[in-house]
Amino acid sequence: MDFQDLVNCCSVPSSILSVEKTPDGFCGAIHIVCANDQYREAMGSGYYDGMPYEELVPKDLKFEEFCFRAAHKNQRMHAYVETKALGCWTDQVMIPLHPQGPEIGYCQFLFEFTETAEPERMASVSMDTAAAVIKASITLLAGDDFKTSVREVLTDILEMSGANACRIMLIDHARREAINFCEKLRHGFVPVERGDGTIPYEVVASWEGMIAESNGVVVKDERGMQSLEERNPLWVRSLRQYEVKSLVLIPLRREKEVIGYLFVVNFDVEKAVEVKELIELMSVFLGAEIANHLLMKQLKELSMHDALTGLQNRRAMLAKMKLITEADDRKQFGIVSIDLNGLKMANDSSGHDAGDQLLIKVARALGGVFRASDLYRAGGDEFAVIASGISREAFDARVVQLRELVSDNHDISVSIGACWSDGSVSAQSVYQEADQRMYAEKREFYDSHPGLLR
């Protein structure tokens, strides 16, 4: 893993921390391995790669405990703490990374400075709300499955607010998608959604402008619904269709960016103040945890994909083969090993950009025949297909189709080896056989094209 590339992809200050585990199992030295430009700028001229963290800020046992848990116990950590040495408050996130050995672990550290805290908003809550938020925090941190933990939190919100439905909607403006991330419905309540199970993107996208001058929306009665209708008739039309009489909607934020919304409908309006207080405070914790979850998911996807071709990488391929081999009910599958001919000559004669374009063309050719989820760049000029859930006849036909496709494409030349399995042997053995057949074909190619020898 290239740590510098990892931190450079972050838009907030980010660094990689190495955390030593002492022989007696405690936290030892913590060093800052590398950092992005935002982190360097925030820390000033005293920063250098590899430095002990305490050269920048005073030693902090809580900080060290969080780093140790992230690096050695694979726990995602989050804290909002006062950093007196820097005269500010710091919103900190520690994300576990793959350890390099038993003594040294790594975590990614991201933070945001704020000039002051907001103690009034966080402290001035009822005992019931405080207890609910503490329980939610423990649930989110301790749960094995994140969505299951979020659903447990929504269940508590549903019961405390007396609502018919509690939902988290996420929004992706780049893809123009509204995602129903998680929900909890009271028995018998029909969710506010269209036929395919989502609220239209256009409706969710309209919420941000609607709450621009406030921190959310509260509707307790018909008068409030009429007021909301003046601002957002499209949404209220849908609400009325599903007999929604009351609602509280609060944005979930990542820094200042709205990443989604937490809302309840048809709640107990006699407890409107308490419900709004509950939803507001829950949104702080849920927003932070969901943002961390999405970041972890993004980092995992980045670690399992090839940046050039967009295909899954060798790590993902090995994981898929392990999954197939260790499955209790092995199913039939086929593997294709593909190698681009003449890549070195293309790189030497026309430059690496030309070679990259050839690799991209091979990836596109594979995508024209097999499912994207079955495609891998195994490394260098090597590609692989692991096709499951397919008959042998269909697999053989697609291999023939691939050969025809590349033979018609005069820009690329590949060697192909294919092997089918009924599931009785390991995926690793099938891959090795396909690889051997590919190399036999490759030798034949270079025997007849000696000028392209690598």
Crossing angle for the helix pair 314-326 and 427-448, to the nearest 10 degrees: 130
| pLDDT tens digits along 397-421 | 999 999 998 887 777 889 999 999 9
pTM of the model: 0.51
Element (H, E) at 335: strand 333-340
To which residue do tokens 């692991």 refer?
386
pLDDT at 451 over 80: no
pLDDT at 194: 44
What is the arithmetic mean of pLDDT over 309-333? 90
What is the arithmetic mean of pLDDT over 351-355? 80
What is the arithmetic mean of pLDDT over 218-232? 85
pLDDT at 327: 85
The CA-CA-CA angle for residues 36, 40, 42, to 5°, reads 120
| pLDDT tens digits along 287-303 | 888 988 888 887 877 78
For the sheet containing 165-172, what is the strand order?
177-185, 165-172, 257-265, 247-254, 217-219
Confidence of residue 86 (pLDDT cuts 50, 70, 90): low
pLDDT at 348: 65
Report yes or no: 72 and 20 within 8 Å, Cβ to Cβ.
no
Which domains does the chain possess? 3-115 (3.30.450.20), 120-302 (3.30.450.40), 314-452 (3.30.70.270)
Q: What is the CA 4 to chain-centroid distance, rounded?
A: 19
What is the arithmetic mean of pLDDT over 122-151? 78
What is the arithmetic mean of pLDDT over 197-205? 81
Q: What percent of the chain has pLDDT over 90?
A: 40
**Residue 431 carries which DSSP code?**
H
State the DSSP string of 258-314: EEEEEEEES--GGGHHHHHHHHHHHHHHHHHHHHHHHHHHHHHHHHTB-TTT-SB-H
pLDDT at 161 over 90: yes
Element (H, E) at 135: helix 127-142
pLDDT at 24: 81
| pLDDT tens digits along 50-65 | 999 999 887 765 678 7
Handedness of CA 83, 73, 5, 56 (dihedral sign): positive
User: Among 131-140, 169-178, 356-365, which stretch is predicted with the lowest mean pLDDT?
Assistant: 131-140
pLDDT at 121 over 70: no
Q: What percent of the chain has pLDDT over 70?
A: 89
Which whole-number Å values give the CA distances from 379 to 98, 307, 395, in the listed order? 20, 12, 23
pLDDT at 70 over 60: yes
Handedness of CA 447, 449, 451, 454 (dihedral sign): negative
What is the arithmetic mean of pLDDT over 127-156? 84
Report yes or no: 426 and 407 within 8 Å, Cβ to Cβ.
no
pLDDT at 126: 62
Write out the two tokens for 51: 């430095």
pLDDT at 195 over 50: no
pLDDT at 140: 82
What is the arithmetic mean of pLDDT over 355-376? 92
pLDDT at 26: 79
